[in-house]
Structure 1
Amino acid sequence: MKNSIAERVAEFLKRYPPFNLINAASLLLIAEQVSIIYLEKGDTIFKNGDINHDCFYVVRDGAISLYYKNGDVNEITNIHDTGDLFGLRALIAKTPYHLNATANEESIIYAIPISIFQSVTDKSVNIQKYLITAFASNDYTPYTSEQAGKIFVDYIPSNSQDVVSFQTANYTKAPITCSTSSTLKSAAKKMCAHKIGCIIVIDTYKKPVGIITNSDIKNKIATGLFPIETKVTQIMSSPVITAKKDLTVADGQLQMIKNSIGHLCITKDGTVNSKLIGVLTHHDVLTSLGNNPTAILKDIKRAKRTKKLRAARHKANGLLKSYLEQNIPLSHIIKIISQINDAVTVRAIDLAILKMPTPPPVSFTWLALGSQGRREQLLFTDQDNALIFENVSKKDYAATKDYFLELSKLVNKTLNKVGFEYCEADMMASNPEWCKSLLEWQDQFKTWILNPDEKAILLSSVFFDYNAVYGNTTFTDKITDTIFNTLNEAYLFYKFLGRDAVKSPSPLGFFKQFLIEQNGEQKELFNIKSRAIMPLVDAARLLILNKQIKGVNNTYERFEKLAALEPENSELYESCSYAFKALSKFKTKQGLLNSNSGKFINLKTLTKEEKLKLRRCFKPIHEIQDVLINRFDLKNFI
């Protein structure tokens, strides 16, 4: 007889990690042991100091607050809602609870016995990786990447990280401090002047007695609980957690996890009874581990020299490799690496502006084009970019353009030093042809659409995939409006784009063999980019333009949008989306393996299984090209 309650529990759990990594039969075993708990607002699940329960919890409905007591004030560390896990850290660490958990509103939670969960998941590498990540980041929420502007932080150790973890931690050796007689106002001014997130309170013997963080100022001063002239000793966290100067990265990380803190005071003998000599922050640990996006983005934003910017961006390749090895969904990987690439460009522009004799004379927009414009650039490729500046009078035009050309040269040079090669076709903002006023750009797109010759179609394949990375984004909105308004007058342009999309070389020959390059340096290699990936890119661009859909630039997202718009063709579009992601992943792995772009592949190095997977991705290419031929009447136009 079926257990309908257990089935409903399993149906709910499978939507959230790590339960989505468990097979249906095992998940049902867990669900059968789940206790369903109803809570009124204010009901307590556990308190600080309680012995850990024999289960952890998942929020089914409602919300659960986790907090600690700071005097008479409840400091909320997190509010968990539907799908979130809580209460697992104490079970893993085998310690009492450090926090209090109460119902923030009327709620239903599932209590999951740790014994059944461990028996089912003990041999699952993916689940263990998830738990390590969650344990280290103190966050079991299912969508950490979307919350509070953060993105998924990867603490999962690789071989290189294992080595790093046992190296001596690189801590700040000149921490900013204040005396016990200081006011919060003076401490906050110091923190602001030094652009730091914490300040250590020391006594007359320079021993650390407390710490004040941005969070303390926000929660205790900005809320009006304490006046700004309050002594620091009134709100500081005390006692501090200390460590000795030769602690390892792993030791520092474990101390932070164990004590739920983000800062360790380094003292002469490792105790609170000796002189403060440094401070180790959560950021320092992340930077040492090196392969997480939060640390990389912070390093990029703080970079003051190209060398630092290059080092930060090169860390992203280690992150990329780690994610691919963990089989993280490519859509997630693309979003993270795209954000990192955009951050590199933004920082390059900021640094270039600092080198210019004056600030920009008018507002402008930096456009990423091609793969970066589609937000699907994973490996280092060549640069494709352009610049739009505000319309100016004729007398100011030459000087304005000269300024932005000089700025663009500095940006392109920095990006080149970071690792993005100069574009061989010179499709860069430093080229006067691609550094124009808004009005000129609007006229340029009109010309390409209304006079679709071979050059116009070639350029369209690059310039119609754009993304505003920096500056005035309203300029791109106006260009998009111009494009779609002009397309209403020029159906012939679609035919030219369609002809270009379907004439891409086939991946397979008549006898279903891979078509390889016949001459040149790449002889006998398979061009996965031009023969497999670009036909999908071109098809998605044409179809989304034809639908006049704005703001969807990524290829797989374009196909997913088309699937929603055309249910009758949804299966094909979803197949194209899957094929694009699979091919991109394959190309990226090859690029990392061979330290190149991954564009050309030596088929002899592939296993039979890998070749079979590639062939399966080719099927939707032919089918989508057939759709283009029929929809845009290309039979007599090719």
Structure 2
Amino acid sequence: MKNTIAERVADFLKRYPPFQFLAADSLLQIAAQVQVLYFEKDKAIFKEKDTNHSMFYVVKDGAVRVFRTVDNQPKIADICDEGDIFGLRPLITKEDYELSASANEESIIYGIPIDLFLPIALAHKEVSNFLIASFASNVSDPYSLEESGKLFTEYSVERNSEIFDLQKARYSKNILTCSPDTTIKVAAKKMSHRDVGSIVVTHEEKPVGIITNRDLRDRIATGDFDISDSVDKIMSKPVKCFQKDPTVAQAQLIMLKNEVNHLCITEDGTPDTKLLGLITEHDIVVSFANNPVVLLKEVKLAKRTKRLRDVRLKVSRLLKKYLDQNLPVSQILNILNEINYAIAVRALELSLLKMETPPPCKFAWLALGSQGRKEQLLFTDQDNAIVFDNVPEEEYEATQAYFIKLARITTRAMHKVGYAYCPADMMASNHRWCQSLSEWKKQYHIWITDPSPETQLLSAIFFDYSYVFGDTQLVTKLSDSILDTLDANPMFYRVMAKDAIRSPSPLGFFRQFLVEEGGDHKDFFDIKARALMPLIDAARVLSLNHKLRNINNTAGRFERLAELEQNNKEIYENCSYAFKALLKFRTKQGILHDDSGRFIELATLSKAEKLKLKRCFKSIHDIQELLTLRYNLK
């Protein structure tokens, strides 16, 4: 007699990894022993430090939030949707839970018995690899990954470093520090006493410089300075910083990109906040090959644009592999954007070599739009700008001409790499977007004080910028000017908020998708305009209103807003999750159809995929309602 319930469970599981790798009889054997569990919204599934359950879980319907408690507050690590697996620690390490999980909404969960599943997993390499990848992407202690190598004996850590480079990097919290007026002799004695190769120079607990054994060798042993001099005479500055909990790959990439051997960990990833820890090159596990680092080395060694294009194509393959492994979008963005930025920097360096003379003054190259927000995963068009230092009026035209020529060479190189020219010509090769600092300040002042539909479109793009190459102080001065102008013109926030709610709900009255009514994409769903942009626009106006610096990423903006506004914490966290889910969906569609992923043919989607999309739309409604009330837009 057939077990129809088991068959239904098997039909569901076979649509998702790792169960899709199993033979029908093995899957049916598992499905017959699955526990079907119901949880009301906010009901706990397991808690931190709970004794491990004899099963791991798959979301059948609804959604589950996975979080850890920090300072008595929940910090979301992930939100699992239909088909996602969670609670893998008992399977991988046989340890108790280090995270908590609860129903984010009314949910039905499948519990998979570990004793039954484990022998089947060991017999299928694809299943083992997927589970290791899923666990490695969220594990907090990199050393617990050693257990996974013992459990899944067919799985080789060395051969699969693309997964393990996403583990968290360990860093020292017991940092040796000194003040800027400390003598070199005292600092050296401290280093000798602690038997360490560096000492961080701090002022009011913020890192301002670092001294290493190399500094003592190159600047003291040579006689250039005396040991009675203060450490600020020989320290390396500014220090390179990153926020807490970087992955091994992130730490390696930043060190390699900036040619440093030490990375300071601070509260917000900048030297403007308290020092929390220090990562040294010695701390980074480099005993296995690391594909992102290898790619970054290729970029730095590239002598021709063709070599950069080869790297960019490899990055695309790496992206697909990470998506197939179901790794978190935030991790993928962090790693791939480091490589994409390195490509842009190298393209500029090669372009400067083609110029007949050095730059006539200081300048900075800015990335705009999705690249400025560090949300660019697929090949898209270029959006960039140049800001150069103020020069005498009689030198302005010649100075601008120099940088426009540089921009044309650079944008041509980026085009060859695979980044199309911007159709609207929003590139540094356009004289409108290649200006002095004072001219840029005037431009932003006009956009803020006298907004119009055209300027509103431009300002939406140009408010999402990030530094790529050149002089950082020019970018800081520009940001200061923009925030000062906004302070004097708070009504501009209302204009931006109104623009952020202009796109209606992606669903019609009968909860059907709103699709394009004409043109080349008739009956297609525009995921960029109808789903991603409302979240991007909302995050922008709210982060500007809070004067957030150094956070351009949409998901990161919402996460920071959740910390600042506890009463709206749930809305912001859901928006962060929804944005990452939508971006991942668009990226997968783009890879599948070899395009930008913007327009989606709904007929090609499964019912489960459509449900996942619709769940994200509630966050759009909630944030637009918040903007409407806050800025009195009714």
TM-score, normalising length: structure 1: 0.60
- TM-fit CA distance, 1:338: 1.1
Which residue is equivalent to 2:587?
588
Equivalence map 1:44-123=2 (5 Å): 83-85=141-143, 88=146, 118=151
C-alpha distance in 2 between matches for 1:143 and 1:24: 15
- Taking the aligned partners of 1:87 and 1:470, their CA distance within structure 2 comes to 37
Hey, what does 1:445 align to over in structure 2? Answer: 444
Residue 398 of structure 1: how far off its partner (Å): 1.3
The match for 2:527 is: 528
Q: CA RMSD in A?
A: 3.4
Distance 2:298 2:92 in 1: 41
Residues 86, 429 of structure 1: alpha-carbon distance in 2 compared, 3 angstrom cutoff? same
* Residue 408 (structure 1) aligns with: 407
8 Å contact 1:10–1:27 — kept in the other structure?
no
Cα 1:506–1:394, aligned 2, differ >3 Å: closer, same or farther? same
The secondary structure found in structure 2 opposite 1:521 is coil
Aligned in 2, Cα 1:585/1:551: closer, same or farther, shift over 3 Å?
A: same
TM alignment of 1:151-550, pairs within 5 A: 292-550=291-549
- Mapped contact 1:446–1:486 kept (Cα < 8 A): yes
The whole-number CA distance in structure 2 between the counterparts of 1:518 and 1:446 is 38
Distance 1:499 1:351, change over 3 A: same
Decide whether aligned partners of structure 1 residues 144 and 294 sit closer, same or farther in structure 2, where only a CA change above 3 A counts. Answer: farther
* Residue deviations 1:435-478 (CA, integer Å, cap 9, x gap): 00011111111111111111221111100000000011111111
Q: CA deviation at 1:409?
A: 0.3
Which residue in the other structure is 1:551 paired with?
550
Which amino acid letter does the alignment assign opposite residue 515 of structure 1? L
Matched, 1:614 2:613: yes
Aligned counterparts of 1:568 and 1:390: Cα–Cα separation in 2:
43
Matching residue of 2:236: none
What are the Cα deviations for residues 6-54 of structure 1, in whole angstroms up to 9, with x where unaligned? 957979xx98x9xx9754655795469xxxxxxxxxxxxxxxxxxxxxx
The answer for the alignment partner of 1:626 in structure 2 is 625
Alignment partner, residue 571 of structure 1: 570
Q: Does 1:132 align with 2:156?
A: yes
Alpha-carbon distance change, 26 to 411 in structure 1, aligned in 2, over 3 angstroms: closer
1:539-586 Cα offsets, whole Å, 9 max, x none, are: 000111111111111000000011000111100100000000000000
Q: Please tell me whether the aligned partners of residues 142 and 169 of structure 2 are also in contact (alpha carbons under 8 angstroms).
A: no
The CA deviation at 1:136 is 5.7
Counterpart residue type for residue 413 of structure 1? R
Instruction: State the 1:619 CA deviation.
Output: 0.5
* Alpha-carbon contact 1:366-1:468 (below 8 Å) kept: yes
Q: Distance in 1 between matches of 2:474 and 2:575?
A: 32
SS in 2 for 1:85: helix
DSSP-derived class of the 1:613 partner: helix
The one-letter code sitting in structure 2 at the alignment partner of 1:132 is S
Whether the aligned pair in 2 keeps the contact of 1:7 and 1:28 (CA below 8 Å) is no
Deviates more, 1:439-448 or 1:612-621: 439-448
- 1:137 Cα shift? 5.1
Deviations 1:353-394 (A, max 9, x none): 000001111111000000000011110111100000111111
CA distance, structure 2, for counterparts of residue 24 and residue 146 of structure 1 = 20
CA distance in 2, matches of 1:417, 1:140: 32
Counterpart CA distance in 2 for 1:379 and 1:138 is 19
Counterpart of 2:118? none
1:144 Cα deviation from its structure 2 partner: 5.0
- SS of aligned partner of 1:470: strand
Amino acid at match of 1:602: E
Measure, in 1, the Cα distance between the counterparts of 2:624 and 2:470. Answer: 37
SS of residue matched to 2:435:
strand
SS of residue in 2 equivalent to 1:593: helix
1:55-85 CA distance string (max 9 Å, x none): xxxxxxxxxxxxxxxxxxxxxxxxxxx9342
1:598 maps to a residue whose letter is G
Give distance in 2, aligned partners of 1:21 and 1:378: 26
Taking the aligned partners of 2:307 and 2:381, their CA distance within structure 1 comes to: 20
CA distance in structure 1 between the partners assigned to 2:477 and 2:170 by the alignment: 29
- Structure 1 427/297 Cα, relative in aligned 2: closer, same or farther at 3 Å? same
Cα distance change, pair 393–523 in 1 and its aligned pair in 2 (3 A): same
SS at structure 1 position matched to 2:156: helix
AA aligned to 2:596 is S
- Preserved contact between residue 531 and residue 582 of structure 2 (Cα < 8 Å): yes
Q: Secondary structure at the match of 1:508?
A: coil
Task: Give the deviation of 1:138 after TM superposition.
Answer: 12
Which of the two has higher C-alpha Rg? 1
Report how far residue 294 of structure 1 moved: 1.2
Distance in structure 1 (CA, Å) of the matches to 2:89 and 2:156:
23
Q: Return closer, same or farther for 1:146/1:386 CA change in 2, 3 Å cut-off.
A: farther
Contact 1:391 1:438 in 2 (8 A): yes
**Cα distance in 1 for residues equivalent to 2:586 and 2:597:** 5
Residues in 2 aligned to 1:87 and 1:561: alpha-carbon distance in whole angstroms: 30
Contact 2:162-2:291 within 8 A present in 1 as well: no
* Distance (Å, rounded) in 2 between the aligned partners of 1:550 and 1:410: 31
2:93–2:144 contact (8 Å) kept in structure 1: no
Q: Who is 2:601 aligned against?
A: 602
Q: Identity of aligned pairs, percent?
A: 48
**Distance in 2 of aligned mates of 1:440 and 1:381:** 28
Give the TM-score, by structure 2 length.
Answer: 0.60
The change in CA–CA distance for 1:605 and 1:449 in structure 2 (over 3 A counts) is same
- Amino acid of the residue matched to residue 610 of structure 2? K
The size of the alignment, in residue pairs, is: 410
